[in-house]
Amino acid sequence: MKKLVLATVFAFGTVVAVNAQEKTTPETQETPKVEQQADEEAKMIAQAKGIAAFKEIKISELPDAVVTAVSKDFEGAEINQAFVNEQKQYKLVLSTQADGKKAKKTVYANAKGEWLKTKSQS
């Protein structure tokens, strides 16, 4: 009888351990979801502020003032994508590295290199 109870306890423990391992996910798999959510949030904020639709441009087409502002205010950041709208407002997708982790950040600037605040920054 002891062996039957002991075998049942071990079987139960094994099932619990296996299920616990299946539910954990590496942080690297969660990062794209976070980045996607950040991009979607930035789009919603921009739409709420009445910022017109952006079209993608080459990074080389950015005004010098905008590139200078990025290098000054976001040291070590790299511009991955650049967009512009009819009001000459620029949407920049930056890649940064903090604490050894890569992250993407979306910022908005005007042609003079001045940062535009979104509702979440107010």
Is residue 16 scored above 80 in pLDDT? no
The model carries a pTM of 0.55
CATH of region 31-110, choose from 1.10.540, 3.10.450, 1.10.1660, 3.10.110: 3.10.450
**Whether 85 contacts 47, CB under 8 Å:** no
Which tens digit of pLDDT belongs to each residue from 71-85? Answer: 999 888 899 999 999
Name the region of 4 (left: φ>0; alpha: ψ -120 to 50; beta: rest).
alpha
Instruction: Compute how many other C-beta atoms are within 10 angstroms of the C-beta atom of residue 70.
Output: 22
Residue 101: per-residue pLDDT? 82
Which tens digit of pLDDT belongs to each residue from 92-116? Answer: 999 988 777 888 889 999 999 999 8
Distance (Å, rounded) from C-alpha 38 to C-alpha 70?
Answer: 19
